[in-house]
Amino acid sequence: MSCEVYRELLPAYLDESLDEVRRTGFRSHLRSCVGCREFAIGEEPTLVFSLAGTGDPSPDRIEDCVTAVVAGIHQERLERRLRGSRRPWLAAAAAVVLAILAASMWWLKSDDGVSSPTLQANDQGVEISSPVATEEIPSATEPPPRVEVEMIQEEVRVYQYAIGDNGTTGAVFIVNPAMEL
């Protein structure tokens, strides 16, 4: 195609009415033919940007990007694996076992006439937060402590209540489901 033909295509190019194949040809001609480019810029100054964007980043920069992306993918995989290893049902079961153990200890100690037991089971994944009230020890004739388990999304809460002479003593365990068991 001659330069004259390309120049005739200019209005259609600016109107966005050229088909894509001709448009691509027009643009590549504009990049390579100085005369047609000068003519086109004279008609439409923004066509100076037909020269823009032809430089590529250095290969080193591209490889840096590849390395960063692959590292990001590994990180994402690791996070996904960690998310997958969280098993709330396992945490709930562990919480129940811990609660039963704590209740048994409490029961045994109160049988021996020992003073009020303090729950200290604050291991990695288990926290004891805010006892509702700390009252006197329940006697052996009193009903055993009541345990309730509640699951809020991935978090498991275990409530333990014991009824004493002067009211109810309560403790709540919050089990972290991310805890490795």
Nearer to other proteins, 6 or 106 (CB): 6
CA–CA gap between residue 162 and residue 179 (Å, rounded): 27
Q: Would residue 16 be called left, alpha or beta, if left means φ above 0 and alpha means ψ between -120 and 50 degrees? A: left
Helix (H, G, I), strand (E, B) or coil at 169: strand
34 contributes a contact to other proteins by CB under 8 A: yes
Picking from 26, 168, 171, the residue whose alpha carbon sits closest to that of residue 98 is 171
Residue of 72, 104, 139, 167 interacting with other proteins (CB under 8 A) = 72
**DSSP states of 89-116:** HHHHHHHHHHHHHHHHHHHHHHHTTPPP
- Piece of the chain touching other proteins by CB under 8 A; list 70-78, 85-93, 109-117, 172-180: 70-78
Nearer to other proteins, 48 or 140 (CB): 48
CA–CA gap between residue 148 and residue 127 (Å, rounded): 16
| DSSP 3-state percent helix, strand, coil across the chain (nearest 5) | 50, 15, 35
Q: What residues from 4 to 33 belong to the interface with other proteins (CB under 8 A)?
A: 5, 14, 16, 20-22, 24-25, 27-28
Q: How far is the CB of 31 from other proteins (least distance, A)?
A: 9
49 contributes a contact to other proteins by CB under 8 A: yes
Q: How far is the CB of 18 from other proteins (least distance, A)?
A: 11
Residue of 7, 37, 86, 87 interacting with other proteins (CB under 8 A) = 37
Which residues neighbour 66 within 8 Å (Cβ) at sequence distance 6 or greater? none
Using CB under 8 A, list all residues that contact other proteins.
1, 5, 14, 16, 20-22, 24-25, 27-28, 34, 37-38, 41-42, 44-46, 48-57, 61-66, 68-70, 72-73, 76
